[in-house]
Chains A and B, each alone.
Chain A
Amino acid sequence: MKNKVEKFVFRDCVVLISPTGQRAQNLREFLNILQQSKEKVVFHHLYQSHLKYKAKIRDYPNDFANWAADALEDQALAEKLASFDPYDSPSVLDTKEMIVEIIEEHLWDLPTVPWVRPGFEFYFSSATTIILPTKIEAKTLSQFKKALKIIPDTSLYYHFYEARKRHKEKLHDDFSVWIETNFFPNGIVDKIREIDFYFFSLDEVRNKLIGILDDKNSRL
């Protein structure tokens, strides 16, 4: 442990969704609207999906892939839209361009433009996020582990998912950054960063984190 440990103050977030009023009834319309969509719209559908879905309710980790599967019933497109990690790129707009390319290529190979049944249109939205302090703090890894068990899902999302968009250069989560900064790295940091978080639900990520901190091989 380093001489002076900075305490970890858990924050929480609340998200209120704003529909843009735009809707797509087929893949061509979807592509056109996506191309014109602002960063905050893409961010919401790609990154904040984790706040909406429990693992058992949806197959894929973002809104676009779920729409392709459920509404267009195009599993191949859904798989393509789910199989990249949007956190790999520091720029949401770069990720948007990549998605546009995936859809353009997919459309190119289709004989007709696929339409959805009425009621299954894609509704584009963005969201406003309010970041709030909580009373939960940790100064030791032991306190940190206890806190992980009680923080809300929204707090976990804020520190473990959305944080990566704040730490633009490193794309790291808040937890591993705090452990790395305040304690001698002993494998915990690497293990946390190895979590394939984009494909997990918040519950699964929480259990993985607690599992890593519980691991007897990790020295606390």
Chain B
Amino acid sequence: MIKIADYKKIVGEDKIEQLRRLASLSRGKKVVMVNSTKDGGGVAEILTRLVPLMRELKIDCSWKTIKGDPTFFNITKSMHNAMQGKKISFSPEMLKYYREVARKNAEELDLGSADIVVIHDPQPLALIDFYKKNGAKWVWRCHIDTSKPDLSLWKHLKKYLLGYDASIYSIAKFSRLLAHPQYLIAPSIDPLSDKNRNLSQKEIGKVLSTFGIKKDKPIITQVSRFDRFKDPLGAIEAYRMVKKEMDVSLVLAGGTASDDPEGEEVLKKVREKAEGDPDIHILLLSPKSDIEINALQRASDVVLQKSIKEGFGLVVTEAMWKRKPVVGGAAGGITIQIQNHITGFLVYSPEGAAYRIRYLLNRQKIKDKIGEDAKEYVRENFLITRHLRDYLSLFCILENAKKNIIYV
């Protein structure tokens, strides 16, 4: 079991002391995190690590998930897409079904006694309509790119949002004009998790051998769900352009999440596009493949994240932490992680991705320097200790509404 003190050697003792002091301000508070799945996806991954750390700091934090059938998750997947800008029409029946599932979940979830309820993403957003707040603070934590949501869905969901005391976004671009306070909390990675801890060359070699990947040529890797917004087809196009000039291989490693019914369809298209090329490795990984992902990222020469829409892009953070130069689509949170020429490269097309991959593969010293700077940038801004600090700060701020400066 990882303890808070284990992070001292990574972030320094002062940061850990700061966490203890902040936590003491909310000691004993009952905090409930609610999302839609415990398996797969960035939200579940963050909560798996964050909740035990809060508990160690004496915050009474628990994590609950809502239940839904495939119809519900098809609706919420469409909502997810529409909140990220896709034009989708929602019938009154769909919206009624969405609310009805929330009502049923509210009967089973015990949220009434919480001091602070943090609702993650649109799936459980409607729960608030079925509780009396009794002084509790309700916060909506949005992990997705809501910079230009589908207007009719936004208007509908905003009715629920108005009941919340605050909302949290990963970057400022995702915030909207709302009556309640909004806060920025970037997500994070855990440097001590199996996905990010140091691995030996033997461990890395074993994973490569399991997947039949040879290290006889530079490896370009994209790790992400098979989701059209992650643009795996664009990644293959970029690889093909690089391949004309240099012998490289491409690894597309994708997980699935139980709340993402679209994945199969995208995966089929990717397989069709890659057919006949032995240097493209399409790996369908289970949610428990953390060490495999870690090894694939560490074995890579360049990491690609060719997203066209992105919430934050934690796979970018993971790769940067491993000193890998990342070529990332200029979307969502990738733009605050990658500073061109310093911590990686932002690109706008498959052509741009191909150009930057070639640029990096031909300049070893620059590639190494970008990798080093990327790691330090993550240490400063995107580790779980910073994430924990922001949540603890938020809990304190919710108790001191309207103050700009809080003296403790």
Interfacial residues, chain A to chain B (CB-CB below 8 A) = 12, 14, 16-23, 40, 54, 56-57, 119, 121, 123, 125-135, 150-152, 154-155
| B21:A21 contact, CB within 8 angstroms | no
For A17, what are the chain B residues with a Cβ–Cβ distance below 8 Å? 172, 183-184
For B275, what are the chain A residues with a Cβ–Cβ distance below 8 Å? none
Interface CB pairs A-B, < 8 A, 16: A18-B183, A18-B184, A19-B175, A19-B184, A21-B177, A56-B342, A57-B377, A119-B173, A119-B335, A125-B184, A128-B393, A128-B405, A129-B405, A130-B396, A130-B397, A150-B14
- Give the number of A-B contacts (CB < 8 Å): 94
| B405:A21 contact, CB within 8 angstroms | no
Does B161 lie at the interface of the complex (its beta carbon under 8 Å from any beta carbon of A)?
no
For B183, what are the chain A residues with a Cβ–Cβ distance below 8 Å? 16-18
By beta carbon, the residue of chain B nearest A126 is: B404
For A56, what are the chain B residues with a Cβ–Cβ distance below 8 Å? 342, 373
| Per-position binary interface string of chain B over residues 354-390, scored 1 when its CB falls under 8 Å from any chain A CB and 0 otherwise | 0000000000000000000100010010000000011
Residues of B within 8 Å of A, CB-based: how many? 38
Does B273 lie at the interface of the complex (its beta carbon under 8 Å from any beta carbon of A)?
no
Within 8 Å by CB of B18, from A14, A16, A125, lies: A14
Compute how far the CA of A22 lies from the CA of B182 in the bound complex, rounded to whole angstroms. 12
Compute how far the CA of A155 lies from the CA of B335 in the bound complex, rounded to whole angstroms. 28
Extra inter-chain contacts (19) besides given A12-B14, A17-B184, CB under 8 Å: A14-B18, A16-B185, A18-B183, A19-B169, A19-B182, A20-B177, A21-B182, A56-B373, A57-B377, A121-B173, A128-B403, A128-B406, A130-B393, A130-B397, A133-B21, A134-B14, A134-B17, A135-B17, A155-B14
State which residues 295-342 of B face A: CB under 8 Å.
330, 335, 339, 342
State which residues 41-55 of B face A: CB under 8 Å.
none
| B393:A14 contact, CB within 8 angstroms | yes
For A14, what are the chain B residues with a Cβ–Cβ distance below 8 Å? 18, 22, 389, 393
| B408:A133 contact, CB within 8 angstroms | yes
Does B287 lie at the interface of the complex (its beta carbon under 8 Å from any beta carbon of A)?
no
| B404:A22 contact, CB within 8 angstroms | no
| A16:B175 contact, CB within 8 angstroms | no
Q: How far is the CB of A97 from chain B (nearest CB, A)?
A: 20
Does B181 lie at the interface of the complex (its beta carbon under 8 Å from any beta carbon of A)?
yes
Within 8 Å by CB of A12, from B18, B184, B394, lies: B18
By beta carbon, the residue of chain B nearest A162 is: B405
State which residues 13-38 of B face A: CB under 8 Å.
14-15, 17-18, 21-22
Does B178 lie at the interface of the complex (its beta carbon under 8 Å from any beta carbon of A)?
yes
Does B176 lie at the interface of the complex (its beta carbon under 8 Å from any beta carbon of A)?
yes
Q: How far is the CB of B239 from chain A (nearest CB, A)?
A: 25
Within 8 Å by CB of B181, from A18, A119, A130, lies: A18
Compute how far the CA of A56 lies from the CA of B343 in the bound complex, rounded to whole angstroms. 11
Q: How far is the CB of B39 from chain A (nearest CB, A)?
A: 30
| A132:B408 contact, CB within 8 angstroms | yes
| B18:A132 contact, CB within 8 angstroms | yes
State whether A21 and B176 are in contact (beta carbons under 8 Å apart), knowing that A40-B404, A130-B22 are contacts in the complex: yes
Q: How far is the CB of A132 from chain B (nearest CB, A)?
A: 5
| Per-position binary interface string of chain B over residues 44-72, scored 1 when its CB falls under 8 Å from any chain A CB and 0 otherwise | 00000000000000000000000000000
For A127, what are the chain B residues with a Cβ–Cβ distance below 8 Å? 404
Q: How far is the CB of A15 from chain B (nearest CB, A)?
A: 8
| A131:B408 contact, CB within 8 angstroms | yes
Q: How far is the CB of A91 from chain B (nearest CB, A)?
A: 16
Q: How far is the CB of B137 from chain A (nearest CB, A)?
A: 14
Compute how far the CA of A54 lies from the CA of B176 in the bound complex, rounded to whole angstroms. 28
By beta carbon, the residue of chain A nearest B175 is: A19
Q: How far is the CB of A127 from chain B (nearest CB, A)?
A: 8
Compute how far the CA of A57 lies from the CA of B374 in the bound complex, rounded to whole angstroms. 11
State whether A19 and B172 are in contact (beta carbons under 8 Å apart), knowing that A57-B339, A132-B22 are contacts in the complex: yes
| B380:A54 contact, CB within 8 angstroms | yes
For A18, what are the chain B residues with a Cβ–Cβ distance below 8 Å? 181-184
For B172, what are the chain A residues with a Cβ–Cβ distance below 8 Å? 17, 19, 123, 125
State whether A131 and B405 are in contact (beta carbons under 8 Å apart), knowing that A14-B389, A56-B342, A119-B335 are contacts in the complex: yes
Compute how far the CA of A155 lies from the CA of B231 in the bound complex, rounded to whole angstroms. 43
By beta carbon, the residue of chain A nearest B184 is: A17
Within 8 Å by CB of A21, from B12, B22, B175, B394, lies: B175
Q: How far is the CB of B144 from chain A (nearest CB, A)?
A: 16
| Per-position binary interface string of chain B over residues 159-176, scored 1 when its CB falls under 8 Å from any chain A CB and 0 otherwise | 000000000010011011
Q: How far is the CB of A159 from chain B (nearest CB, A)?
A: 14
For B169, what are the chain A residues with a Cβ–Cβ distance below 8 Å? 19
| B330:A119 contact, CB within 8 angstroms | yes
| Per-position binary interface string of chain B over residues 127-159, scored 1 when its CB falls under 8 Å from any chain A CB and 0 otherwise | 000000000000000000000000000000000
By beta carbon, the residue of chain B nearest A151 is: B14
| Per-position binary interface string of chain B over residues 92-133, scored 1 when its CB falls under 8 Å from any chain A CB and 0 otherwise | 000000000000000000000000000000000000000000
For B15, what are the chain A residues with a Cβ–Cβ distance below 8 Å? 152
Compute how far the CA of A69 lies from the CA of B249 in the bound complex, rounded to whole angstroms. 38
By beta carbon, the residue of chain A nearest B408 is: A132
Compute how far the CA of A123 lies from the CA of B176 in the bound complex, rounded to whole angstroms. 10
For A125, what are the chain B residues with a Cβ–Cβ distance below 8 Å? 172, 184
Compute how far the CA of A131 lies from the CA of B406 in the bound complex, rounded to whole angstroms. 6
State which residues 260-274 of B face A: CB under 8 Å.
none
Compute how far the CA of A119 lies from the CA of B393 in the bound complex, rounded to whole angstroms. 29
Residue of A22, A23, A121 with most partner-chain B CB within 10 A: A23
Compute how far the CA of A171 lies from the CA of B15 in the bound complex, rounded to whole angstroms. 29
Q: How far is the CB of A130 from chain B (nearest CB, A)?
A: 5
Compute how far the CA of A54 lies from the CA of B185 in the bound complex, rounded to whole angstroms. 19
State whether A130 and B408 are in contact (beta carbons under 8 Å apart), knowing that A19-B182, A21-B178, A57-B339 are contacts in the complex: yes
For B21, what are the chain A residues with a Cβ–Cβ distance below 8 Å? 12, 132-134
Compute how far the CA of A133 lies from the CA of B389 in the bound complex, rounded to whole angstroms. 15
| B177:A22 contact, CB within 8 angstroms | yes
